[in-house]
């Protein structure tokens, strides 16, 4: 039982892991023993990210490729398998968001969000599925969102993509369970990252809204996702399939405002 969360001997690929929540989850997987492979598409960000991993004693392998380009993905997966090993854990984290009112959004922008946030997880999952089937085991984790459940102003494309990703997660779990592949999702709430820093100072309306709306009464720390991603990557979740684990401080549990004291 003490080895339920041990990831030694496993190869984990995390897309979009050069910064933010992807990097936090990737670090966690490596700290629990996984051989870490990260994806990005900007050379300078990849170089800086690998330095950060190395400073923590993590020997991460970095691969630059566009997760929306099926040909490039297949080539990259083949290269990773040859150089590192077959992938045991895939975390589909790469994503974008465009905050544009629906009536003003260009169809090209809508399609771009769908392509990155929904189509690319399918491409990535399909590309690793055959080797997982061959060895009769694998873990696929899709990074969903509270927008997999809720709508929000200016996020029509993002909510459509993340809602679709929730159902893709359930359907792939249904199809691939017979091969001992578990496909689950993580739905992060609001986290304190570099991207959210401009709205997290006292007095900013969005900061106050998040603090008041979250029963925990605070923003999440990126490290709060480590337990969830390690659980869903490990033996501990071998009979967990098609689930979305929301790590949101309780936001989705309530429509009320938490007591202040």
Q: Which of the residues are catalytic?
A: 158
Please give the full DSSP string across 142-155, using - where no structure is assigned: EE--GGGT---TT-
Instruction: List, edge to edge, every strand of the sheet that includes 181-188.
Output: 61-64, 35-40, 11-14, 89-92, 138-143, 181-188, 244-247
Sign of the alpha-carbon torsion through 28, 226, 77, 159: negative
- Residue 2: both structure tokens together: 């003490």
Tokens of 231: 């659980």
Contacts of 96 (CB under 8 A, 6+ apart): 112, 113, 116, 117
CA–CA distance, 68 with 152 (Å, rounded to integer): 25
- Asked if 193 and 173 touch (Cβ cutoff 8 Å), the reply is no
62 SS3 class = strand
- Rounded CA-CA distance 217/235 in Å is 32
| Strand blocks (E) in 45-198 | 61-64, 89-92, 138-143, 181-188
Q: How far apart are CA 146 and CA 248, in angstroms?
A: 8
């Amino acid at each position: 039982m003490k080895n339920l969360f041990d990831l030694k001997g496993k190869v984990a690929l995390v897309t979009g892991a050069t910064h933010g929540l992807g990097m936090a989850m990737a670090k966690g997987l490596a700290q629990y023993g996984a051989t870490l492979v990260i994806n990005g598409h900007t050379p300078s960000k990849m170089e800086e990210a690998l330095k950060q991993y190395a400073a923590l004693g993590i020997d991460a392998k970095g691969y630059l490729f566009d997760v929306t380009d099926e040909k490039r993905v297949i080539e990259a997966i083949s290269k990773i398998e040859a150089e590192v090993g077959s992938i045991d854990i895939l975390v589909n984290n790469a994503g974008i968001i465009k905050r544009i009112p629906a009536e003003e959004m260009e169809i090209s922008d809508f399609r771009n969000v769908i392509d990155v946030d929904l189509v690319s997880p399918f491409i990535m999952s399909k590309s690793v599925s055959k080797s997982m089937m061959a060895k009769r085991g694998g873990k696929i984790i899709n990074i969903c969102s509270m927008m997999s459940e809720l709508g929000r102003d200016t996020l029509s494309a993002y909510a459509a993509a993340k809602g679709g990703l929730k159902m893709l997660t359930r359907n792939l779990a249904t199809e691939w369970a017979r091969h001992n592949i578990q496909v689950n999702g993580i739905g992060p709430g609001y986290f304190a990252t570099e991207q959210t820093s401009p709205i997290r100072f006292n007095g900013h309306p969005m900061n106050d809204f998040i603090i008041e709306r979250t029963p925990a009464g605070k923003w999440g720390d990126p490290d709060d996702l480590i337990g969830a991603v390690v659980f869903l990557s490990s033996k501990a979740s071998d009979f967990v399939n098609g689930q979305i684990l929301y790590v949101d401080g309780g936001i989705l549990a309530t429509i009320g405002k938490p007591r202040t004291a």
